[in-house]
Every structure is written in C-alpha cells, then in structure tokens.
Amino acid sequence: MIVRVSEIPDEGLQIDSPTDLGVVFPEEGWSLDGVGLLIQRQGTDVLVTGSFRATARLQCSRCLEPLVTPVYPDVDLQLVPPPSAREKVELAPDDLELDFLQGDLLDLPGLLRSEMDLALPMKPLCRPDCRGLCPVCGANRNSTTCHCEVREVDPRLAPLEALRRQLRP
C-alpha cells in the first residue's frame, strides 16, 4: 500500500487490517498477522505510530535449525522532507526515530519491513540452551551425542592462550 501524503485526511489514516497493506513480506513463511497504525500529517512532516504483529521464519544461529519467531514491534516514526543538497544536516541521538519522505509517496510495506528488520533478534536461537554444531563433524549437538576429539589450539593462537593463562587469577 503506497500512501499519498497529500491525500492523508486531517484526522489521519487508520490502518487496522493486514489485508489493507497487501503483500508486505515477500519471503516465504513470513507473515503480517496484525496491524494497528495511525498515519498523520503534521505540517510537512508525517507521523506513523502504532504497532504490528508479524511472524518470521529464521534459522538458529548455533545449530542452523529452522525456527518461527513472532515479532511485536512498536512503530513511532517521524518522516520529514529531505534536506536540500546544499544544506548540511547533523543527526542527533533524538533523531533515531526520524526518516525522510520520498516525494509525496509513503511506502508503508517498506516501512514495516524496515521496522521488522530492526526488531528481529541479532542471533536467533531455537532455545536458550542450544548446543550448536560440532566444529569437527558438523553434527547437531542438540539431537546427537558427538564423540569427536577436541582439536588442539591452533599454533598461531598459542601466544594468546599463554597470555590468557597468565591473566587468570
């Protein structure tokens, strides 16, 4: 759903149904499960507030098993017209919830994808105690017991290992 900023009513535009937005996530297995957004004009700025629920299919960062991750990001975004090319703009810490408009159009599915990317875990885990893969044979340590021998320290890293032993209390 592409919204024309100039056509946003004075009372704002309320989006309460995922079907109003069309396809938000082109990735298979990802879905937009619920949405509650309010889009308002404030002079030349546009405010987008609310929240949405989505489901992402990811891989565990330790064992590479597939997992389903529900995500519930809140949206509190201010979109402003882009500065002129001659104007120098320095962003402050308060500007983290600030983005620039692209002309008179607001790509709402693109905005939700960006918010989703920010809300995803950096290292998704299938469970907190995931044991990961064996570095020798590649077996999933959560489902099989591996009897591989632990490799010795790489000789290039031996000086660091010696330093670590010296620094231990």
Res. 146: pLDDT tops 80: yes
Helix (H) or strand (E) holding 35: strand 31-42
pLDDT tens, position by position, 15-59: 887 777 777 787 888 888 888 888 888 888 888 889 888 888 999
Q: Is pTM beyond 0.75 here? A: no
Res. 121: pLDDT tops 70: yes
Copy the structure tokens of residue 148: 């591989």
Q: Between these two residues, 29 and 151, which has the higher pLDDT value?
A: 29
Write down the pLDDT at residue 86: 63
